[in-house]
Amino acid sequence: MIDLHCHVLPDIDDGPTDIEASLQMVQAALDDGIHTIVATPHVNHRYGSEPEAIGTRVEELRAALARDRLPISLLAGAEIALSRLPGLDDEEIRMLCLGDSSCALVESPYTAVGSLMEESLFDLKVRGFRPLLAHPERCPEFQRDVPRLERLVDGGAVCSISAGSIAGQFGETVRRFAMRLLERELVHNVSSDAHDPVRRAPRLRASLSDPKSLPGNAGLQLWMTSTVPVAILADEPLPPRPPIQTSSRWRRLTARG
């Protein structure tokens, strides 16, 4: 599996504070069956991670991985706040994209942002980038207005939900909304959005195998955690989505509480 969203770099944002904690996160990822991690530190007004600083931290962590013989592929990326996008030129965005792709991971806002969302994502597309929305299931604006997210996806945005969301880590409202987005085929990827080795660890398989998660959908899980990430990192079109298998149990899991 490939984890496209992971705060694994040390001492750069609200992720691990030192390289030992980063290494513990990588070990947890390996134990979970993840072979590639894209390091995605916050680029927002609180953590102004510059592309050069991200590159330096990636090199430091790669050296530590080689020293400890941890067989994982580490790529550079970022999680860009909507409010930072207007101030970034094409070259800066290119440096913040996931790996060598033109895919920019954009954080779904937690507060009302008006038309900035549509304008920013449209602008990214026009400039040749593929927007990947991070955790739309935790965005109050989408929770209130699913068609708004549908229009963004129709316009070319790709959605990545957090594994912890479907395992209930962010509460029942978020979990049920994540399941609804899955059912409406608005989810393309599941990533960890991990921040530490224990509480918010890089675990995809562990969350997807949770009984409250995605029962009977092994094909869809593989598509979201491997097939889609491969296509995103290669700037390829997304392969066809396996149909979701719903059941009476699924309907109980998605019913509004």
| Least spacing, CB of residue 248 vs Fe ion, in Å | 34
Alpha carbon 201 to chain centroid, angstroms: 13
C-beta closer to Fe ion: residue 137 or 193:
193
Specify the amino acid at residue 115: S
C-beta closer to Fe ion: residue 79 or 196:
79
Q: Which stretch binds Fe ion (CB under 5 A): 20-28, 79-87, 210-218, 242-250?
A: 79-87
Residue 34, both tokens: 């993840």
Q: Which stretch binds Fe ion (CB under 5 A): 59-67, 95-103, 190-198, 247-255?
A: 190-198
DSSP track, 152-179: HHHTT-EEEEEHHHHTTTT-HHHHHHHH
| Least spacing, CB of residue 16 vs Fe ion, in Å | 13
Q: Is 193 an interacting residue with respect to Fe ion (CB under 5 A)?
A: yes
149-to-83, 136, 154, 181 alpha-carbon distances in Å: 18, 8, 9, 9
The contact mask relative to Fe ion for 149-188 (x = CB under 5 A, - = no) is: ----------------------------------------
C-beta closer to Fe ion: residue 32 or 79:
79
C-beta closer to Fe ion: residue 80 or 121:
80
What residue has token string 């990545």? Answer: 160
Q: Are 160 and 133 in contact (CB under 8 A)?
A: yes
C-beta closer to Fe ion: residue 110 or 218:
110
Handedness of CA 155, 156, 162, 166 (dihedral sign): positive
Helix, strand and coil content of the chain, in percent to the nearest 5, comes to 45, 15, 40
Please choose, from the candidates 96, 107, 103, 124, the residue with its C-alpha nearest in 3D space to the C-alpha of residue 39: 96
C-beta closer to Fe ion: residue 8 or 253:
8
Residue 162 β-bridge partners: 191
Tell me which residue has its CB nearest to Fe ion.
193
Specify the amino acid at residue 54: I
| Least spacing, CB of residue 187 vs Fe ion, in Å | 16
| Least spacing, CB of residue 51 vs Fe ion, in Å | 17
Interface with Fe ion (CB under 5 A), residue total 2
Q: Is 79 an interacting residue with respect to Fe ion (CB under 5 A)?
A: yes
| Least spacing, CB of residue 162 vs Fe ion, in Å | 8
What residue has token string 């790709």? Answer: 158
Give, for 52, the enclosing helix (H) or strand (E).
Answer: helix 51-67
Q: Which stretch binds Fe ion (CB under 5 A): 77-85, 137-145, 168-176, 179-187?
A: 77-85
| Least spacing, CB of residue 44 vs Fe ion, in Å | 10
| DSSP E strands, 57-126 | 73-76, 79-81, 103-107
| Least spacing, CB of residue 105 vs Fe ion, in Å | 8
- Residues forming contacts to Fe ion in the complex (CB under 5 A) are 79, 193
